[in-house]
Amino acid sequence: MKIAIEPNARLEFEKAVLAGGGEPAPLSEGVKALIWTDYSQPKLLRKTLAENPQLEWVQLPFAGVDAFADIIGLQPLFTSAKGAYSEPVAEHALALFLALGRAIPERVKAKSWGKKFAVSLYESQVLIVGAGGIAKEARRLLEPFGCPVTLLSSTDIARLKDELPKADFVLLACALTEQTRGLIDSEALSLMKNTAYLVNVARGPVVVTADLLVALEQGEIAGAGLDVTDPEPLPDGHPLWDAPNVIITPHTADTDAQVVRMFAERIRRNVEAFVGGGEMIGVVDKQLGY
């Protein structure tokens, strides 16, 4: 079965299509499946779909599909890479937890001995907003620390206000939807302990940046670790760069090498399912939007 790879047909992805029993081919009337490789070009994907109504299946490159929110309601079956990058992203979240609790942002810049300070992750209350692959992998990584972990799925979001005051560490690992956009605002931040830490590996707009900045500056929370921001990239000179006890990483929870390898495996498995009539992984729920 012929399968197109657009707009960037890397050799690793072509090999994955072949390994799944498909045949890489240029997009034409006879091609019914499309591997889309560029998250930053949703308009081009919309144009491609309009010009190719024969397409039955589209594989999207990342777990988050918010860039394609106005597209995923269209006719083809869409699959995302949700769950594919869970391990490195959860690892990054754990690293941010540990670095914040040990005041690494402050100590890495220090030129004098300073005061003693440390917050242990062991047996700390952890709240994870999200219940997908990243959230589940993070919970697994936290097991050696003996942390009581609470996961809030999309159907549990109403419990957020009840759970935030209990948490020592809060991890955002949810999809960006209308339900979660601006979820962590001034009210949510005010409910957190002033000794609690916030880590965001979801999407920047899940947090209201201006409210987070105020919370950090006024000591409403102890610190934040952000692999995603709003806006993104965070501009040079933005006040968040100078906020107290914040770690900002440039959306690098998963490296390019990891993404290519893991996405290639997702392509292989879904091509195999598409060709053989099996069950596909990461099917996008058109109602939920992820």
Task: Pick the range with the lowest mean pLDDT from 11-20, 69-78, 125-134, 177-186.
Answer: 69-78
Q: How confident is the model at residue 69 (pLDDT cuts 50, 70, 90)?
A: confident
C-beta neighbour count of 53 within 10 angstroms: 10
Give the model's pLDDT for residue 208.
98
Task: Summarize the confidence of residues 160-174 as an average pLDDT.
Answer: 98
Same domain, 235 and 149: yes
Same domain, 132 and 171: yes
Percent of the chain with pLDDT over 70: 100
153 close to 179: Cβ distance less than 8 angstroms: no
Degrees to nearest 5, angle at CA 112 with 107 and 114 = 65
Same domain, 167 and 198: yes
Task: Summarize the confidence of residues 250-273 as an average pLDDT.
Answer: 94
- CATH code of the domain covering residue 148: 3.40.50.720
| pLDDT tens digits for range 172-231 | 999 999 999 999 999 999 999 999 999 999 999 999 999 999 999 999 999 999 999 999
Active-site residues: which are they? Answer: 203, 232, 251
Give the Cα separation of 177 and 11 in Å (integer). 33
Domain region containing 173:
86-248
Residue 146 reports pLDDT greater than 90: yes
Position 51 in a domain:
yes
Same domain, 38 and 159: no
Give the Cα separation of 124 and 166 in Å (integer). 10
Same domain, 130 and 206: yes
Give pTM, 2 decimals.
Answer: 0.91
Same domain, 133 and 177: yes
Question: Residues with Cβ < 8 Å from 228, sequence gap 6 or more?
Answer: 200, 201, 202, 203, 204, 251
Give the model's pLDDT for residue 47.
96
Q: Which residue type occupies 247?
A: I
| pLDDT tens digits for range 87-144 | 999 999 999 999 999 999 889 889 999 999 999 999 999 999 999 999 999 999 999 9
| pLDDT tens digits for range 276-289 | 999 999 999 988 88
Give the model's pLDDT for residue 74.
81
Position 11 in a domain:
yes
Give the model's pLDDT for residue 178.
92
Same domain, 80 and 128: no
pLDDT averaged over the chain? 95
Same domain, 143 and 58: no
